[in-house]
Structure 1
Amino acid sequence: MNALNHLQLLAVLAVPVLFAITVHEAAHGWVANRLGDRTAFMLGRVTFNPLRHVDPVGTILVPTVTFLLAGFLFGWAKPVPVNWRNLGHPRRDMALVAVAGPGANLLMGLAWGLAIQLGLLLMPFSQWIALPLIYTGASGVLINVFLMVLNLFPLLPLDGGRILNALLPPRVAYYFSRLEPFGLIVLLALLATGLLGAILMPLAVLAIDLLPGSEIVKELFLA
């Protein structure tokens, strides 16, 4: 497979990024709604319309700049509002709501991996159909795995931080939750020093290896 330049990479990443972020956020809202909190549903956030979830800075500007300058995708969407007071079992249910986003990314990564396999099957018959499937599928696997692994990092306000907060003893969880205002600063510091990439990259590669089309993904993006 031929390597892509930065502009071509951005082109094939655009659709998977929008789907990855949109479905991730919609999954949070959908699970919260199922568990008793209709806040996201009432605000129109349980939807696959990307305009409801896109943050101009976090979803478009920051990922583009970090990808072009560092080769690492980093960004965020508008957080889905969840009122824990409406949940039947607040600590458990908040963890389930948090898990829903990365879980949705795992399922999308699997679907994009199957798209790669379909593209490989079609290659002898039509490269015009096969190549877009392969390149976009590889991009979809990459972005969903990175988004999943990043969001599972145990730091508030990330999903991993919310899961950890639910698992900690209540007193410890209280003090841990007070660190949330500093979470983004810590995350940006880890990104700037390269520590975030060093921590997440091995986990991302391990996850990619478990999905169909992993060799193509690594050949195109991780070689």
Structure 2
Amino acid sequence: MGLINLLTTNPVAFVIIAVALVLSLTVHEFAHAWTADRLGDPTPRRYGRVTLNPGKHLDPFGVLLLLFAGFGFARPVPINPGNLGRWGTLWVSAAGPISNLLIAVLAGLLMRMLVSVPYAAEILAVILSVNVVLAVFNLIPIPLLDGSRILGALVPSLGRSLAQFEAQPFSFVIVMLFIFIARDAIDGIIGSVQGWVEGLVGL
């Protein structure tokens, strides 16, 4: 179910989730760009991606998918693996999901501190959930997602095959079909990770 359904049934929830998604996707892509920049790859900076400006990171089609299909994506950060090497590429790929997990943990800690503040806990709970979803979703080891690039860095021969698959015009459709078919399993993993985060911060 897409976010668009909330616009008429619960507009406040729509705004909270939409803002949380925009901010979380922005931090995710910024983390990729910042890490690559720090590790010596000037490509993200050349494309203006080392910024927290959401307009530099959001993808119009990815936003439409979020609104109408319930899942979507931001604009991938361009990097040059030749400037990063195998392990640099791994860290750049992992930086996005790690940033989302850190936000989720921070949101959980703030929930404990602000439990008596009206609406704070509810808003922070949304931020926590959104970031767990983004972290888990992006760590799936299939092409076009960060998990694929992490796996490719760990197993270079497999990485070459995954990169070749990504270059095919039909790769996006196949990945979307896989996500749709495996949605129940992915939801189960998301629930487990969210439970782990909540347990970690004592919720």
The residue number in structure 1 matching 2:115 is 120
Question: Aligned partners of 1:185, 1:206: CA distance in 2, in Å?
Answer: 28
**How far apart are residue 211 of structure 1 and its match?**
2.3
CA distance 1:19–1:190, shift in 2 (3 Å)? same
CA–CA separation in structure 1 for the residues paired with 2:162 and 2:43 = 25
Q: Distance in 1 between matches of 2:26 and 2:53?
A: 7
1:174 deviates by: 2.1
- 2:123 maps to amino acid: T
Q: Deviations over 1:34-92 (max 9, x none)?
A: 1110111222211111111111220x21111123xxxxxx11111111011222xx111
Q: Which protein has the larger Cα radius of gyration, Structure 1 or Structure 2? A: 1
User: Partner residue of 1:50?
Assistant: 54
2: CA distance, partners of 1:202 / 1:81: 31
Percent identity, aligned pairs only, is 34
Task: Identify the range of structure 1 (113-122 vs 8-17) with the bigger mean alpha-carbon deviation.
Answer: 113-122
Q: Which of 75, 78, 92 is the matching residue for 1:78?
A: 75
1:62 and 2:86 are equivalent in the alignment: no
1:11–1:172 CA distance, 2 compared to 1 (3 A): closer
Residue matched to 1:127:
none
How many positions carry a matched residue from both structures? Answer: 192
CA contact (8 A) 2:149 2:159 kept: no
Compute the RMSD of aligned alpha carbons: 2.1
SS at match of 2:178: helix
Show the 5 A alignment for 1:78-97. 78-87=75-84, 90-97=85-92
Q: Deviations over 1:73-129 (max 9, x none)?
A: x11111111011222xx111111100000000001111222232233133xxxxxxx
Residue 109 of structure 1 aligns to a residue whose secondary structure is helix
Moved more, 180-189 or 33-42: 180-189
Note the alpha carbon deviations across 1:151-210, whole angstroms, 9 max, x for none: 000011210000011111x334322321113442222112443x2x22211111111112
Structure 2: segments with no counterpart, 5+ residues: 1-5
2:15 counterpart of 1:24: no
1:143-182 to 2 correspondences below 5 Å: 143-168=130-155, 170-180=156-166, 181=168, 182=170
**Partner of residue 208 from structure 1, selected from 177, 194, 200:** 194
Normalising by structure 1, what TM-score?
0.79
Query: How far 1:17 moved relative to its partner?
Result: 0.6
Residue 100 of structure 1: aligned partner: 95
TM-score with structure 2 setting the length: 0.86
CA distance in 1, matches of 2:20, 2:160: 36
Segments of 5+ residues of structure 1 without an aligned counterpart are 68-73, 123-129, 218-223
